[in-house]
Structures are given as structure tokens and as C-alpha cells.
Amino acid sequence: MSKSKMSNWGLGLAAAAVALTLSNSAFAFDTSADKSAPKVAGIGMNITDAAIKPWNISYFYDGTNLPDGSGTVSAGEKIYSAQCAMCHGDFGEGAHGYPKMVGDPVDQFEASAKAGVDAVSNRGLNNNWGNAPTLMDMIHRHMPFYAPGTLTADEAYSVTCYVMNLASIPGVGDDFVCDKTSLPKIKMPAEPLYVTNSGPDTDNTRCMKDCYKGTEFVVEKAAAIGDVSVGKVQKKDTQ
């Protein structure tokens, strides 16, 4: 859009019309191309794997693509106290509402789920994490929260090692060394619990008349986990 001030409507419109005519004749459209499957050519650049490498930071559940380097529980403890404990708690119990590292033991988690009581508030690395390489991936890309992606591979391995030790992950003793060969071998306690969804699991029918007899049991404000005072939105509330 032109920034110059238009002194006169007529002039401005005339100029726009000229521009339109010019642009119509300036472009040639390729009408021979198959419109249903346009072949795209001449757009973008090829790139080498070496150039992509700094961005190729996904570590698969089975350890594929884990970086070189290693870390220890004791080195991780120092990093954790300095950069993580303020949010995740000195003992991994969570602080200020941030996630716990240590949840209910996995059998207790399972029992709570089966009993229909709250199983999800006390989740942690020991009951809701399938694979150790995923933990390394998460920490290396996303933590510490205030400075994501700033840990070196050795630091990320160390603090991964430490939080697993904190959560009593079997095999991760005080002398455990985390690297790309040791992490995939760790058996996370929750690993056997994961199942893949098989599709819709409810089968309601489209009943239209007299769908049930008797009275419905209506519940109002039954089981508040949080503060229900949020309640109704006030029209004047513009937070």
C-alpha cells in the first residue's frame, strides 16, 4: 500500500485501475499443468543432513538418536538443586504446583485407578513414564523451564540420571551412569501399563421417546478438586 497521501479520490482510483491492468497482462498462467495434482517446482532449497543436525534433537523411546556424552547421579544432584528444585521440590515432590518427579509407587497408582479414586494427582516418573530416553529428550529440549534447551548433553544426562534415582527407578543406583547405551535398557515401572487405543469405546443409541423410566439423579457441584468460586463469569469481569 502506498504511504503517500491521496489528494483526490478520483486520481487514486484511476491509479489503482492502471495498476490492475498492468498486473493482469504481466502474468502468464500455465494452463497446461494438471490442476488436480500440481507439481511444485522451483520452490525451496535442498538441505544436507549435516546442516539439519543441530535441529535433529528428537530421542526416540528406544534410544534412537540419543546424543554422545554421559552423566552421573552425583553431577545431576548439583544441577537439580541449582536449576530444578525450586519448581520440582527438593525431593521431587513438586513445588508451587509444578509437576512432581516422584509419584505414588506404581502398584498404588494402579490400585487407585482400579478403585476409582484419584490416581492422577500423584503421578510421577515412577508411575507415568514409559521409557527413560523420553525423559532425556524432554529434559534436554524443554527444561529448565525458564531457559529451555540450555543444558549440555552431559548435563542433561546427569540430571536425567538424578531424577530417576530420586524416583527410585529400578537399576538407577547412586553410581549409575546415563548415556545412549544405558538409558534404553532401563525398565521404567509403568512401561507394562501402556496400551494403544483401539477405537470408539461407547455405544449410545439414538433413542427419541421414553428413553428411561423413573427419576434421574441430578448432581450439582459434587466433587470440586479446585476452587469452585471461579464459578460464573461476570459480564463486567474483564481480567
Partner 1 sequence: MSENMINPVPEGANKAGVASSDRRKFLRKSVALAAGGAAIAATTSANAADGLNTWTTPLKNEPTRHMLGRGVVSVPYGLPSKYEAGVVRRNVGWLTADTIASISFTPWQDLHGIITPNGLHFERYHAGAVDVDPEKHRLVVHGMVKQPMIFTVDDLKRMPSHTAIHFLECPANGAMEWRGVQMDSLQFTHGMMSCSEWTGVKLTTLMEMVGVDPKATWFYGEGTDGSALQRSIPMEGAHDQHGKPIPALYTSHYRDAMVCYAMNGEALRPENGYPIRLFVPGFEANVSTKYLRRLMFVDKPLVTYQETKHYIEVLPNGMIRQYNLVNEANSVITSPCPDFKMNGKGTYEIRGIAWSGYGKIKHVDVSIDGGKNWTEANLVEPVLSKCLTKFTLPFQWDGSEHLIMSRATDETGYVQPTLKQLREVRGFNSIYHKNSIQVWKIEKTGEVKNVQIENV
**Window 154-173: residues binding ligand HEC (CB under 6 A):** 159, 163
Report the partner that residue 170 touches, choosing among partner 1, ligand HEC, none (CB closer than 5 to 8 A by kind).
none
- Integer Cα distance of 129 and 191 in angstroms: 7
Is residue 143 within 8 A of residue 151, CB to CB? The reply is: yes
Does residue number 187 form part of the binding site for partner 1 (CB under 8 A)? Answer: no
Residues 91, 118, 152, 173: which binds partner 1 (CB under 8 A)? 118
Question: Binding mask 61-90 vs ligand HEC (x if CB under 6 A, - otherwise)?
Answer: ------------------x---xx-xxx--
* Residue 84 contact, options partner 1, ligand HEC, none, Cβ 5-8 Å cut-off depending on partner type: ligand HEC
- How many CA within 13 A on the CB side of residue 170? 9
Instruction: For partner 1, give the closer residue by CB, 175 or 209.
Output: 209
Please state, in angstroms and rounded to a whole number, the distance separating the CA atoms of residues 76 and 66: 18
Sign of CA pseudo-dihedral 138, 139, 145, 148: negative
- To which H or E segment does residue 167 belong? none
144 is a contact residue toward ligand HEC (CB under 6 A): yes
CB nearer partner 1, residue 10 or residue 226: 226
Is the distance from CB of 46 to CB of 129 less than 8 angstroms?
no
Check residue 97 for interaction with ligand HEC (CB under 6 A).
no
237 binds partner 1 (CB under 8 A): yes
Indicate the residue among 129 and 182 with the shorter CB distance to ligand HEC: 129
User: Concatenated DSSP letters for 106-160?
Assistant: HHHHHHHHHHTS--STT--TTTS---HHHHHHHHHHH-STTSTT-S-HHHHHHHH
Q: How many residues bind partner 1 (CB under 8 A)?
A: 93
Task: State which residue, 22 or 43, has the beta carbon closest to partner 1.
Answer: 43
Contact 195, 187 (CB under 8 A): no
Residues near ligand HEC, by CB under 6 A? 79, 83-84, 86-88, 98-99, 135, 138-139, 143-146, 159, 163
